[in-house]
Amino acid sequence: MSGRMITKTCPICSQQFQTDWPKKQFCSAECYRNKLKNQFRERFESQVSPPDSNGCHIWTGATLPRGYGQIHLAYPVRRTSTTHRVAWELYRGPIPEGLWVLHNCPNGDNPGCVNPEHLWLGTHADNMRDMLNKGRSNYGERHYHSKLTKSDAEAIKSSADSPQFLADLFGVTPGHIRLIQRGKRRSRE
């Protein structure tokens, strides 16, 4: 701490701060994080189309087979995510544990849409119900010969919906739903 203190202006929050390190640019770790976030947002937005006639902003970068955009993130942890989830985190905030980011685009869902106004947070059951309402589910098939997956079972356990509703949704009996909720079984009887 021998250097002379100098006064600098933080480019993020515009506040003045004192430092003895001439190369220091930001007043705090938080402002540095915000700088990284701004940079990331610019990179993200450079790969999004202007709004189409429905107001959808479509991801123009890499996509997954079902049309969801895909992006690699380096911060705060290295991971690959879908662009609608990242859009939610950028413009709305953190996604609570166990919730899904779902689309509700006017005139039909657009998996590549990243307009935060067209996104909402729901449970796995909400997602299933949404797909049913929009006629995009393989629910009928599920009804006859599929087993519940582990994530189905987790969704059932954490759901506040009634056993009857969940039974209809997943194509099993209400008794089966109650058994799953009590942790007794996972697969279809």
In the complex, the residues that contact Zn ion under the rule CB under 5 A are: 10, 12-13, 27, 31, 56, 105, 110, 113, 115, 118
Q: CA-to-CA distance for 189 and 186, rounded, in angstroms?
A: 9
Q: CA-to-CA distance for 18 and 1, rounded, in angstroms?
A: 12
Nearer to Zn ion among residue 51 and residue 175 (C-beta): 51
- Nearest distance from C-beta of residue 29 to Zn ion, angstroms: 10
Q: CA-to-CA distance for 167 and 21, rounded, in angstroms?
A: 64
Other CB atoms within 10 Å distance of the CB of residue 125: 20
Nearer to Zn ion among residue 114 and residue 167 (C-beta): 114
First vs last C-alpha separation in the chain: 71
- Nearest distance from C-beta of residue 76 to Zn ion, angstroms: 18
Nearer to Zn ion among residue 117 and residue 141 (C-beta): 117
- Nearest distance from C-beta of residue 119 to Zn ion, angstroms: 8
